[in-house]
Chain A
Amino acid sequence: MIDIETALRVLAGAGVEFIVVGGVAARAHGSARLTNDLDVLYRRTPENVARLAAALEPHTPYLRGAPPGLPFRLDPETIRRGLNFTLTSRFGDIDLLGEITGGGGYEAVAAHSTIVAAFGLEVRCLDLDLLIQVKRAAGRPKDLEGIAELEALLEERERLGG
């Protein structure tokens, strides 16, 4: 489960450069499917990595599914040495992605993102076209229903002239 509003406030409030991808992005575009975590693609510049680590630190980020008590600390060095992190936190489950399959890193994906307004914030969100493309590229059988829904959504949106 994820408190999306709090998560977005924490990240946007700290000036973190990120793009909402995955199920929450799908939901923002109108999907009806349930997702339990927030996937964000973060920019891997040293400044942004530092902002990201500082923003999440008070919310006790920890490796999801790992046994308790590991000496894990999400500091800039940890983020720099890794790429993608699946985490729990006080506000819920969040995945930090340095790259996405079929899309690439923040700079490549930013061109295919759109600004959405929610909770008094303006947040970058992966656009529907690339969302479909990355889900197709992931090639996971479990995504087939979701892709079909997103393509139907795209058709419905085009039918409405948007």
Chain B
Amino acid sequence: MGPTRGSGGGVVLEPDPVIEAYKKDVDRTLLRENLKRSVEERLRDLMRLQRFADEWRRAARRAFD
């Protein structure tokens, strides 16, 4: 089941069956790896991923236009 209380202690998160179902597909290995990184590393990774996704979009546009 999901958390019933947030780590901050102030926010109650009642388990939602739909979210619990989605949770089964979450790649926790990836999350564990991310948790080992600093915030800056996580944000730099995001910017790299954005550039990569953007390049793919442009390549797809060139291919189909």
Interface mask (B1-45 → A, CB under 8 Å = 1, otherwise 0): 011001110110100101110110111101110110111101101
CA distance A133 to B2 in the complex (A): 13
Interface mask (A35-52 → B, CB under 8 Å = 1, otherwise 0): 110000000000000000
A-B CB pair tally, cutoff 8 Å: 118
CA distance A160 to B34 in the complex (A): 13
Contacts of A136 in B (CB 8 A): 13, 16, 19
* Cβ A148 vs Cβ B23 within 8 A: yes
Contacts of B3 in A (CB 8 A): 151, 154-155, 158
Apart from the given pairs A30-B37, A118-B43, 13 other A-B contacts in the complex at a CB distance below 8 Å: A5-B43, A5-B47, A30-B34, A36-B50, A128-B7, A128-B8, A130-B8, A132-B13, A147-B19, A149-B31, A154-B7, A154-B13, A162-B7
* Cβ A1 vs Cβ B50 within 8 A: yes
* Cβ A144 vs Cβ B19 within 8 A: yes
Q: Does A9 contact B (CB under 8 A)?
A: no
Contacts of B11 in A (CB 8 A): 112, 129-130, 132-133
A32-B31, A147-B22 in contact; A24/B13 too (CB < 8 A)? no
Contacts of B27 in A (CB 8 A): 32
Main secondary structure, interface of B, reads helix
Contact residues of B with A, CB < 8 Å? 2-3, 6-8, 10-11, 13, 16, 18-20, 22-23, 25-28, 30-32, 34-35, 37-40, 42-43, 45-47, 49-51, 53-54
Contacts of B28 in A (CB 8 A): 152, 156
CA distance A117 to B45 in the complex (A): 15
* Cβ A152 vs Cβ B23 within 8 A: yes
CA distance A127 to B47 in the complex (A): 21
Contacts of B49 in A (CB 8 A): 34
Least CB distance from A91 to B in Å reads 11
Q: Does A100 contact B (CB under 8 A)?
A: no
CA distance A148 to B18 in the complex (A): 9
Q: Which of B7, B38, B43, B45 has the most chain A CB atoms closer than 10 A to its own CB?
A: B43
* Cβ A129 vs Cβ B8 within 8 A: yes
CA distance A154 to B15 in the complex (A): 13
